[in-house]
Amino acid sequence: MMRLFLLGFLLTTVTWAADRPNVLIIVADDLGYNDLTFQGTKEVPTPHLDKLAAASVRCTNGYVSHAFCSPSRAGFLTGRYQHRFGHENNPAWLPESTVAGLPVDQITIADLLKKAGYTTGMVGKWHEGAHPQFHPNKRGFDEYFGILGGGHQYFPGDKGGVEYTIPLDRDGLPTKQTKYLTTELGDEAAAYVQRHAKEEKPWLLYLAFNAPHTPLQAPEEWLTKFAHIQDKNRRTYAAMTAAMDESIGQVMDQVASSGQQDKTLTFFISDNGGPDLSGKGMGNFTDNFPLRGAKGQVYEGGIRVPFLVNWPAKLKPGVYEKPVIALDFLPTAVALAGGELPQDRPMDGVNLIPYLTGEKAGVPHETLFWRSNGPEGNYAVRQGSWKYVRLSKGRPELYNLTSDISESHDLAAEKPEIVNQLTAAITEWEKGTIAPVFEGPKQQPKKKAKK
């Protein structure tokens, strides 16, 4: 009898382990909402992401928790509003600073999946602090290859500022860049998938492209394909996006050819909306249509992003229209891994799978919040169809996103009761937040570029 019990226990354990999917998180950088074919563009062919979208749940009300790079990433890496731990600015490139980065007391998705028995890897843009204590290998990732700062020159040997010309990093050691950076990151990610394909333990891979973030640089063969686009910046941006799409296709093809497609949960987002750099003389080369605003703003164009969830074994392709947020990545992955969420701190994401399968009715989130520039800065709240916006100490604005996705008709004067309700929601939410603990790079002295 004891032998039968032990055999049954072992079989149950093996089956449970086999059901745990790999987790692949793919993040684009500064991608316009309308700059993928499945999102509506006719100008930038993205066949590989279109293929992924056709096989995925496409979340049409998908958000990130911040309107620019590092705080957004800090949010989905921890499953918490980054305002809870003061990570509300981009950290300057300060290798000597033990403050400017993702606080070391924050637990990451890599920490939790590693504890649950996963192999954990990251390829690409980190941007969560330059001091060695913030390095990905010390934040739960077994393997790392990429750029530690907020961006990088795309071609080997190009000149630029210090942060954008540092060597690539492989597990803490400087590594020479050998090819166009987007291609190199795709190669590394595909190699990671292949390397761990035959292992019994599942894996996590966080693939964070810096494309199509500036500087606008693309290989000549891609630029030639977009020669019909007259605006130079738009042409280069389109080429960069297409090159990223090809690299994503390479990774997804490796997942499929290695027999891991059904057992891999894949998320795809942009870290924020596309930027408008008209004020810097570069124009608005991204397309956030039909959304208002751009990167850095709490209007939809800064925070609503393309958002895909793919798991062929469990999720049927389709459209999910209720609001979700990238904070949900961590709780979803940990639940499927059989891991445990931290019990000593509030978690803001939820496990999306029961909602996407229809097992759970209702909404994953009753209310979503955004804040930038600290307690005196800009706010937004989404509750159902209602979107509240307040810029600095200005007058509150109110929009019905179901009928007005472009936030063009302010209904605050007509619906004061809803304005008051959402103002009160902000006040309550802010009790669990703190002011930023480090300044952004604009407040830091600039380092000289290499000659």
Report the candidate in 342, 365, 370, 341 with the shortest Cα–Cα distance to residue 352.
Answer: 365
Alpha helices in 196-231 (DSSP H): 220-225
* Single-letter amino acid, residue 149: G
Amino acid at 110: A
| Cα-based angle 72, 212, 30 (whole degrees, multiple of 5) | 30
- Please state, in angstroms and as integers, the Cα–Cα distance from residue 151 to each residue in 162, 190, 205, 219, 369, following that order: 10, 21, 20, 17, 27
DSSP 58: E
List 48, 66, 69, 196, catalytic entry: 69
Catalytic-role residue among 48, 87, 127, 365: 127
- What residues form DSSP beta bridges with 248? none
Contacts with 309 (C-beta within 8 Å, 6 or more apart), sequence order: 56, 57, 59, 265, 266, 267, 315, 320, 352, 356
Can you read off the two tokens belonging to residue 258? Answer: 């290695």
Is 59 catalytic? The answer is no
Both tokens assigned to 146: 């990429």
39-58 per-residue burial string, b: 16 or more CB within 10 A, e: under 16: bebebbbbebbbbbbebbbb
Residue 269, beta-bridge partner list: 27, 307
End-to-end CA distance of the chain: 77
Coil vs helix vs strand at 134:
helix
C-alpha torsion 173→178→184→188, nearest 10: -50
Q: What separation in angstroms does the CA of 227 have from each of 29, 233, 274, 287, 383?
A: 23, 12, 22, 18, 44
Distance CA(371)–CA(382), nearest Å, equals 12
- Could you give the CA distance from residue 431 to residue 421 in angstroms, rounded to a whole number? 16
127 noted as active-site residue: yes
List the catalytic residues: 69, 127
